[in-house]
């Protein structure tokens, strides 16, 4: 995964908000990334590679707390795609 790919993913698919309790767990963050890759016709990296790239990027690592990335919410086409195709969203 290139830095540009990760930067584009973050810019297009995530909103950072310090004053919110919103959070994304690691599974949802990776699922959002896979949806973003699908929309952008790129092959997703394995989850471990994606996680390592996020840690190297720094912005996401600082927000991780108790298995969730706090202060994050989904946005954009990848968010819609992820929600529409994720069974967990519909099994409440």
- pLDDT per residue as tens digits for the range 38-73: 999 999 999 999 988 888 887 775 455 567 788 888
Structural domains in the chain, CATH included, are 3-85 (1.10.10)
Measured distance CA(35)–CA(31) in Å, rounded: 6
- pTM beyond 0.85: no
pLDDT > 90: percent of the chain: 46
């Amino acid at each position: 995964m290139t830095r540009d790919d990760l930067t584009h993913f973050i810019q297009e698919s995530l909103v950072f908000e310090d004053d919110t309790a919103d959070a994304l767990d690691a599974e949802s963050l990776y699922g959002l990334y896979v949806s973003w890759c699908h929309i952008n016709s790129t092959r997703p990296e394995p989850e471990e590679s994606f996680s390592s790239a996020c840690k190297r990027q720094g912005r996401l690592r600082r927000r991780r707390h108790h298995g969730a990335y706090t202060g994050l919410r989904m946005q954009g086409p990848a968010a819609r795609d992820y929600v529409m195709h994720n069974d967990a969203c519909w099994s409440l």
